[in-house]
């Protein structure tokens, strides 16, 4: 019997969207659902861990296991899921405020562990849920209600941090470039190891600077660069530094390094939750006796 192919509707929930009309997060949601459809991953084989903020609602709109964690804690929850059940496709999602501010410590340690997780960050350079304050990716000089004389801090550069920290798949998409974003997410899910897909996702309500039109003029597609090799770490870092990270496409990929779960002692292909942990009769009492 041939299994019936899944449809786009299989990855949607009946919940109505909470986002503002025109929000870039709509494009990220559509790209994620299309990527899952193309890969034909069953909804019951997907775990989506979402953070706090406007972006954190994405888990409500994707038909999958959905865990809505506290602020900045997507990484430890996603890592725990993957280690317990590596048969799941584990995807973490959140915003720049969630991931690169309160979540920065977890982000850096997830990078160096190279766990087999896909992390999609919806980067809009502002805190939209709390009505417009500077976020870690806001440019210096950016004016908001909380910084009327301009932001006095340098912005975080997540792609360079990710490569320096040990991520083995680093890409950047743009929410209005659906075709490319779908391909980047599919590549990230297929990749064995930690994958970051930072996505420029404009906030049309509170960020009037980093708009769709602004990004369309600024972003450089790496596929248009002659001879660009995403497997060259030094070239990737140079590209990001020279363009202030305003690029799209697959910036860097390491296909050699093993993922965190593959290096664990006693690694078995089958997830821990699906392994047989039955203790033979009499063995349990022997184990207990060893602790007395």
Q: Model pTM?
A: 0.93
Token pair 């720049």 in the structure block, residue: 96
Total residues belonging to the chain: 292
C-alpha distances in angstroms, 127 versus 51, 66, 164, 243? 13, 23, 26, 24
DSSP per position, 183-194: HHHHHHHHSSS-
Tens-place pLDDT, residues 33-55: 999 999 999 999 999 999 999 99
Tens-place pLDDT, residues 46-93: 999 999 999 999 999 999 999 999 999 999 999 999 998 989 999 999
pLDDT at 2 over 80: no
Confidence at residue 4, expressed as pLDDT on a 0 to 100 scale: 87
What φ, ψ does residue 108 adopt, rounded to 5°?
A: -65, -40
Confidence at residue 271, expressed as pLDDT on a 0 to 100 scale: 79
Please tell me the distance from the alpha carbon of residue 88 to that of residue 156, in angstroms, as a whole number. Answer: 31
Please tell me the distance from the alpha carbon of residue 120 to that of residue 209, in angstroms, as a whole number. Answer: 22
pLDDT band at 273 (very low <50, low <70, confident <90, very high): confident
pLDDT at 149 over 90: yes
Tens-place pLDDT, residues 205-252: 999 999 999 999 999 999 999 999 999 999 999 999 999 999 999 999
């Amino acid at each position: 019997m041939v299994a019936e192919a899944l449809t786009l509707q299989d990855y949607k929930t009946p919940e109505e969207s909470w986002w503002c009309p025109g929000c870039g997060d709509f494009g990220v949601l559509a790209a994620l659902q299309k990527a899952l459809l193309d890969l034909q991953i069953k909804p019951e084989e997907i775990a989506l861990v979402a953070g706090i903020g406007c972006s954190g609602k994405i888990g409500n709109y994707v038909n999958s296991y959905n865990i809505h964690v506290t602020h900045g804690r997507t990484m430890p929850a996603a890592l725990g899921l993957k280690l317990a059940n590596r048969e799941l496709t584990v995807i973490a999602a959140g915003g720049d405020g969630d991931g690169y501010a309160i979540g920065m410590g977890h982000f850096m340690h997830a990078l160096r562990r190279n766990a087999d997780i896909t992390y999609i960050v919806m980067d809009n350079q502002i805190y939209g849920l709390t009505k417009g304050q500077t976020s870690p990716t806001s440019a210096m000089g950016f004016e908001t209600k909380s910084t009327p004389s301009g932001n006095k801090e340098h912005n975080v550069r997540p792609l360079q941090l990710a490569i320096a920290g040990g991520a083995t798949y680093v890409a950047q998409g743009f929410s209005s470039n659906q075709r490319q974003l779908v391909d980047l997410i599919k590549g990230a899910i297929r990749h064995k190891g930690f994958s970051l897909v930072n996505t420029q996702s404009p906030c049309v309500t509170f960020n009037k600077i980093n708009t769709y039109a602004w990004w369309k003029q600024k972003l450089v597609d790496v596929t248009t660069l002659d001879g660009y090799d995403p497997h060259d770490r030094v070239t990737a870092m140079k590209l990001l530094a020279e363009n202030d990270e305003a690029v799209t496409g697959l910036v860097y990929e390491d296909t050699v390094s093993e993922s965190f779960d593959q290096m664990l002692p006693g690694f078995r292909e089958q997830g821990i939750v699906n392994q047989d942990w039955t203790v033979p009769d009499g063995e349990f009492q022997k184990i207990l006796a060893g602790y007395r």
